[in-house]
Every structure is written in C-alpha cells, then in structure tokens.
C-alpha cells in the first residue's frame, strides 16, 4: 500500500515539482523499496515530458531513463554494502 502511494506521489511530483526533485524522490524510492522497477517507467515519463533531446551537447533523448537504469542496477550492490555495515 505504501508503494502505491509512493508511486502516486512521484507521478504527481513529476508534473508539479522541478525535475531534480522528482529524480531525487525516484532515487530514494529505489533505495527504500525492493525491485522498484517502476522507476524506469517514471524516468521514461520524465524524458517524454521534459527531455529536450540534447544533453551536454549530445543528441540523446533518453538521458534520465538511462541514469535511472544505471542507478537501479547499482542499487543492488549499494544495498548489500549498506546492510553489511549495519
């Protein structure tokens, strides 16, 4: 139930709040929830709404989607490291 509310809150933040705040919320949700695969879809929505197609001089329309996929994959290793230290 909490995961559903988190998804709805992040979707609302994508439409209302600045992009960097929405990306931060997605990163936090990836770390809190197990297998938060919805984050990839949320990153794609951000790219569809706000992606200009030109990032750092390169014509690449799916920048935030790729960043979120990389963070999602790295989060498994990060979760193992954080749980070992506790």
**pLDDT above 70 (res 70):** yes
Exposure on the CB side of residue 2, measured as CA atoms within 13 A? 5
Report the pLDDT value the prediction gives residue 62, as an integer from 0 to 100.
Answer: 81
Q: Given this model, what pLDDT does residue 60 score?
A: 73
pTM exceeds 0.85? no
What is the band of 85 on the pLDDT scale with cuts at 50, 70, 90? Answer: very low
35-58 per-position pLDDT tens digit: 889 999 998 998 888 876 655 666
The domain ranges of the chain are 2-85
Q: What is the pLDDT of residue 10?
A: 93
The beta strands (E) that lie in 1-86 are given as none
Closest Cα partner for 30 from 86, 84, 82?
82
Under 8 Å CB-to-CB from 25, ≥6 apart: which residues?
9, 10, 13
């Amino acid at each position: 139930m909490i995961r559903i509310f988190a998804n709805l809150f992040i979707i609302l933040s994508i439409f209302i709040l600045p992009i960097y705040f929405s990306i931060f919320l997605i990163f936090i949700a990836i770390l809190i929830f197990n297998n938060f695969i919805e984050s990839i879809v949320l990153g794609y929505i951000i790219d569809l709404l706000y992606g200009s197609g030109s990032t750092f001089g390169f014509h690449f329309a799916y920048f935030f989607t790729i960043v979120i996929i990389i963070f999602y994959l790295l989060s498994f290793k990060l979760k193992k490291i954080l749980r070992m230290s506790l």
